Chain A
Amino acid sequence: MNMEKLIKIQLTNIILATVVGFILGGIVLVLTGYNPLEAYGALFSGIFSKPKYIAQVVIKSTPIILTGLSFLVAFKSGLFNMGAEGQYLTGSIVAAIVGSKLDFPGGIHFLAVVVSAVTASALLGAVIGILKTKWGVNEVISCIMFNWFLLYLNNYLITTPWLKKPNAEASYEIHETAWSLVAGKWKTTEKGIAALSGSGSPFAEMLLRTDLNYGIVIAVIVAVIIYILYKKTTTGYRLQSVGANINASRLSGIPVEKNIICAMALSAAISGLAGALTITGMMPHRLSQLRVHEGYGFSGIAVALIGANSPIGCIFSGLFYSMLEYGSSSIQSKTGAASEIMDLVIGTIIFFIAISSLFRIVLKKKKGESKHE
């Protein structure tokens, strides 16, 4: 394959953009008086040097893989879901309520939490879809409105005596029956702690030191299901067709309104799942006061873009994003350079993905020059 063909492939563009992102990040580090090699070294040791770091990266990647998928699902149907933030909150609020207020046996409780959270956020998505199809309300604006509405709803609910834990600025914790931690109960028992700290295996360390949970498995399953949905099914065909050309789809007998509502509901459901899994899988298993949004929605957009709008791609870009975010704290602790350098790097990568036609132009120029010589 020649260079020109290679550059037409999205993956190549993304890799090139990543390289450029790191180089430019390095230049910024040099300009501000840090050694980029040292900084990037710290970054990678902060990600890979201990099993628990790797586990943290995986744990933190779960919600953003899901919000990335959520953005992707909407995007494939021509919708711009800026509302992952609010849908995430919907999921976590419902998860916290069902998890703390109801009693079920272990496992079933977890399922009940997830199903109710996903249903609630899917309903929110359907409302956004109906607002768009019935009344022409632009989904970007309704999403932003719901984001803030839900932020304040979250803050309000945890001031009510019903949900507020006394002496805390937060809600009650959900019951352990609803947790999705790996070996959640056992590892906190004395016997468990003793067994784990004695074993010395890397997995034991992960279990003991992190909130390792089943969320990532669910996220990967969701990604695979979405992949199959778009590749193999008529539903996926319709959902994508509506996004690619709404007029032609309508004339082909595809019910476009229904598909838009479904796409938005599905998208929101996935963000809601992210919220629910955070509550079930991570300490402190409860809602807290929010001054601003947590940024999962926005990270999701970045994940979807770096993942080249492919469901499987989202798994990798989610992990990648999570690595950089998590590893960035080591840059700060080891070299003193601010961890936000990674935001700059990620931003630069996305910027170069946006202008990836640049790579083609540069290549052409080079070719032209070599011809002259």
Chain B
Amino acid sequence: MNAAHAIEMHGIVKRFGNFCALDEVELEVKKGSIHAILGENGAGKTTLMNILYGLYDYNKGQILVHGKEVHFKSPRDAIHAGIGMVHQHFKLIEPYTVLQNIVLGYEKKGLFGFIDYRKARKEIEALIKAYHFKIDLDAKVRDISVGMQQRVEIVKALYRGADILIFDEPTAVLTPQEIHELTGCMKNMTEEGKTVIIITHKLEEITQCASRCTIIRRGKFITEVAVDGCDTKKLASLMVGREVNFSVKKQKKAGTEPMFEIRNLTVEDRQGICRLSDLSLEVHHGEIVGIAGVDGNGQQELFEAISSLIMVKSGTITIHSKEIQNTDPKTMLENGITVIPEDRQKDGLVLDFTVAENLISQNLSAPQFSRHGFLKKPEIMASSAALIEKYDIRPSGCSALKCRALSGGNQQKVIIARAIARNPDLIIAVQPTRGMDVGAIEFVHKALIEEREKGKGILLISLDLDEILKLSDRVAIISSGHITGVFDAQDADKGKIGTLMVGGKN
């Protein structure tokens, strides 16, 4: 027991059924410090914090807040004890205004039992001023940027009087500049005596702001280290449990003529607001082009325009000098483009279909899989078995298993296997490694590089700037639906890219 510690968690065990998510995990956080929890996706960081925040119960262990033992039954208790959490996937009600979101659950009653928004507004405005935020309280959450939404989450926690703030992967969707701002904001908080816990798998963030760091691997506590005097390489190997090779070997690209071209593409949404404006881009054979940008700057629309999910107002999209804008996904597929969508469960797979069925979804009418409208079951199963083997989709021999039963990483493998099996000329990959662990990420990266070596073009849209810099031959920066700059990946400079991402001049 130590009153200098804001948080102590001892011997925390958490089981989900037979799976042990946390096994005797230890955490000690000094008051007024920034403490990082480092671990791969799926290591149990978020589970640990959800326990601290009262969202999950735990099987064994002891939790102390400011030296006093606590046992939170619901987040309500945690909030009461001064803990606030900014979740990775923001917990905001989209059709509500910022103000409504902040007061939700902490409403103050006025006349006739109605919510006293005026009073709340005053208090919140004071808070916003104190932390130098810029937030429009009357904007609807669905209309504001991701960075802004994060700030709303922070204000939400502060408004509830939090003095211990947990950030779950806060930088995943931010620009380098926004990350810088956030770091400043965290430091401000600690200066005011607040404690900050940051969950991350990115090493750079830790060295930038945290003072101490707890490392978790596969649900087990590994160690706690002081960040000063610890290099990223060492942190990485502690996190993964083996040496990590940061660079991907790439050979020089071959193609000279662009095989895929986007010319002056303009897309408007239903309200007539311009989502893509005059966007031009090209991809050559044997080249990976990365699209870097802040979430919501037209990445989704670019993807949707290429696959004809939305109408293009003007401009052209051509592959092998054939225009495919405003057609349909089928035409796109027939012209040798295949997609790895961002949300594999929503857009990629039919979860209630088997793996074999999902693997043929783009090839239903192909003579090898059907005749006169009747499916050829044996051929389908054989082809599926071969792909499962080749792409190491687990559990092995899962042809007849529903995709729902597969882990996220294996679901992604199904999508990649399906995409590559078509032998496409161009692969559009949107956030292809989102939420996957290091092993699976390496697998996906390797698969993409392999296709590049075979001379295919790849358009990689990702919010993870590190991923883009690692894989791409060329990097294009998208901001407000416009390409604001294109670099060779070797010459790319993070600061410059960051400026361009938020619409600055090159």
Q: Is any CB of A less than 8 Å from a CB of B in the complex?
A: yes
Interface residues, chain A, with chain B CB atoms under 8 Å away: 232-235, 237-238, 240-241, 244-245, 247-255
Q: Is the CB of B375 within 8 A of A253?
A: no
Return A294 CB to nearest CB of chain B, in Å.
34
B81 touches A (CB below 8 Å) = no
Return A327 CB to nearest CB of chain B, in Å.
37
B63 touches A (CB below 8 Å) = no
Return A357 CB to nearest CB of chain B, in Å.
15
Within 8 A of A (CB), among B303-330: 307, 309, 328-330
Residues of chain A contacted by B307 (CB below 8 angstroms): 251
Q: Is the CB of B365 within 8 A of A241?
A: no
- The 4 A-B residue pairs with the shortest CB-CB distance in the complex, in nearest-first order: A253-B330, A252-B361, A245-B350, A244-B350
Cα A249 to Cα B361 in complex, Å, equals 8
Residues of chain B contacted by A237 (CB below 8 angstroms): 357, 364, 375
Q: Which of A232, A238, A247, A253 has the most CB of B within 10 A?
A: A253
Q: Among B153-161, B173-181, B341-349, B455-463, which stretch is in contact with chain A?
A: B341-349
Cα A249 to Cα B375 in complex, Å, equals 17
Residue of A nearest to B415 (CB): A248
Q: Answer whether A251 and B374 are a contact pair too, CB < 8 Å, given A234-B365, A237-B357, A237-B364.
A: no
Residue of B nearest to A242 (CB): B350
B339 touches A (CB below 8 Å) = yes
Q: Is the CB of B329 within 8 A of A252?
A: yes
Cα A145 to Cα B357 in complex, Å, equals 37
Q: Is the CB of B350 within 8 A of A241?
A: yes
Q: Is the CB of B351 within 8 A of A251?
A: no
Cα A241 to Cα B373 in complex, Å, equals 15
Cα A237 to Cα B361 in complex, Å, equals 9
Q: Is the CB of B347 within 8 A of A247?
A: yes
Q: Is the CB of A233 within 8 A of B339?
A: no
Choice from A232, A241, A252 contacting B375 with Cβ under 8 Å: A232
Cα A234 to Cα B375 in complex, Å, equals 6
Q: Answer whether A251 and B348 are a contact pair too, CB < 8 Å, given A232-B375, A233-B374, A237-B357.
A: yes
Return A203 CB to nearest CB of chain B, in Å.
38
Return B346 CB to nearest CB of chain A, in Å.
6
Residue of B nearest to A253 (CB): B330
Residue of B nearest to A236 (CB): B375
Return A135 CB to nearest CB of chain B, in Å.
14
Residues of chain A contacted by B349 (CB below 8 angstroms): 245, 248
Known: A248-B346, A253-B330. 4 other contacts (CB 8 A): A233-B373, A245-B351, A251-B347, A255-B328
Cα A238 to Cα B377 in complex, Å, equals 15
**How many residues belonging to B are interface residues under a CB distance threshold of 8 Å?**
28
Q: Is the CB of A234 within 8 A of B361?
A: no
Residue of B nearest to A228 (CB): B374
Q: Is the CB of A251 within 8 A of B370?
A: no
Cα A240 to Cα B307 in complex, Å, equals 22
Q: Is the CB of B375 within 8 A of A248?
A: no
Choice from A233, A244, A249, A253 contacting B328 with Cβ under 8 Å: A253
B264 touches A (CB below 8 Å) = no
30 chain-A/chain-B pairs, Cβ below 8 angstroms:
A232-B374, A232-B377, A233-B373, A233-B374, A233-B375, A234-B364, A234-B365, A234-B374, A234-B375, A237-B364, A237-B375, A240-B353, A241-B350, A244-B350, A244-B351, A244-B353, A247-B347, A248-B346, A248-B348, A248-B350, A251-B309, A251-B348, A252-B333, A252-B361, A253-B328, A253-B329, A253-B330, A253-B333, A253-B362, A254-B330
Residues of chain A contacted by B69 (CB below 8 angstroms): none
Q: Is the CB of A250 within 8 A of B309?
A: yes
Cα A187 to Cα B357 in complex, Å, equals 52
Choice from A233, A235, A247, A254 contacting B361 with Cβ under 8 Å: A254
Return A361 CB to nearest CB of chain B, in Å.
14
Cα A247 to Cα B350 in complex, Å, equals 9
Residue of A nearest to B331 (CB): A253
Within 8 A of A (CB), among B156-200: none
Cα A253 to Cα B364 in complex, Å, equals 10
Cα A174 to Cα B339 in complex, Å, equals 57
Cα A248 to Cα B342 in complex, Å, equals 11
Choice from A234, A240, A250 contacting B370 with Cβ under 8 Å: A234
Residues of chain B contacted by A252 (CB below 8 angstroms): 329, 333, 361-362
Residues of chain A contacted by B350 (CB below 8 angstroms): 241, 244-245, 248-249
Return B495 CB to nearest CB of chain A, in Å.
36
Q: Answer whether A248 and B361 are a contact pair too, CB < 8 Å, given A232-B374, A237-B375.
A: yes
B143 touches A (CB below 8 Å) = no
B352 touches A (CB below 8 Å) = yes
Return B356 CB to nearest CB of chain A, in Å.
11
Cα A235 to Cα B375 in complex, Å, equals 9
Residue of B nearest to A229 (CB): B373
Return B345 CB to nearest CB of chain A, in Å.
8
Return B338 CB to nearest CB of chain A, in Å.
10
Return A346 CB to nearest CB of chain B, in Å.
27
Return A232 CB to nearest CB of chain B, in Å.
5
Return A239 CB to nearest CB of chain B, in Å.
12
Q: Is the CB of A248 within 8 A of B347?
A: yes
Residue of A nearest to B353 (CB): A244
Residues of chain B contacted by A245 (CB below 8 angstroms): 346, 349-352
Return B257 CB to nearest CB of chain A, in Å.
27
Residues of chain A contacted by B351 (CB below 8 angstroms): 244-245
Residues of chain B contacted by A234 (CB below 8 angstroms): 364-365, 370, 373-375
Residues of chain A contacted by B348 (CB below 8 angstroms): 248, 251
Q: Is the CB of B339 within 8 A of A251?
A: yes
Q: Is the CB of A251 within 8 A of B341?
A: yes
Return B476 CB to nearest CB of chain A, in Å.
23
Residues of chain B contacted by A240 (CB below 8 angstroms): 353
Q: Which of B334, B348, B350, B373 has the most CB of A within 10 A?
A: B350
The digit string for B275-309, where 1 denotes a CB below 8 A from any CB of A, is 00000000000000000000000000000000101
Residue of A nearest to B334 (CB): A253
Residues of chain A contacted by B361 (CB below 8 angstroms): 241, 248-249, 252, 254
The digit string for B392-431, where 1 denotes a CB below 8 A from any CB of A, is 0000000000000000000000000000000000000000
Cα A249 to Cα B350 in complex, Å, equals 8
Return B164 CB to nearest CB of chain A, in Å.
37
Cα A235 to Cα B351 in complex, Å, equals 19
Residues of chain A contacted by B347 (CB below 8 angstroms): 247-248, 251
Residue of A nearest to B346 (CB): A247
Residues of chain B contacted by A232 (CB below 8 angstroms): 374-375, 377
Return A88 CB to nearest CB of chain B, in Å.
29
Cα A253 to Cα B374 in complex, Å, equals 18
Residues of chain B contacted by A251 (CB below 8 angstroms): 307, 309, 329, 339, 341, 347-348
Return B194 CB to nearest CB of chain A, in Å.
42
Residue of B nearest to A238 (CB): B364
Cα A163 to Cα B256 in complex, Å, equals 76
Cα A103 to Cα B419 in complex, Å, equals 58
Q: Answer whether A244 and B352 are a contact pair too, CB < 8 Å, given A234-B365, A235-B373.
A: yes
Residues of chain B contacted by A241 (CB below 8 angstroms): 350, 353, 361
Cα A251 to Cα B422 in complex, Å, equals 14
Residues of chain A contacted by B339 (CB below 8 angstroms): 251
Residues of chain B contacted by A255 (CB below 8 angstroms): 328, 330
Return B317 CB to nearest CB of chain A, in Å.
16
Residues of chain B contacted by A250 (CB below 8 angstroms): 309, 329
Cα A254 to Cα B357 in complex, Å, equals 14
Residues of chain B contacted by A244 (CB below 8 angstroms): 350-353
Residues of chain A contacted by B374 (CB below 8 angstroms): 232-234
Return A317 CB to nearest CB of chain B, in Å.
22
Residues of chain A contacted by B364 (CB below 8 angstroms): 234, 237-238, 254
Cα A250 to Cα B333 in complex, Å, equals 11
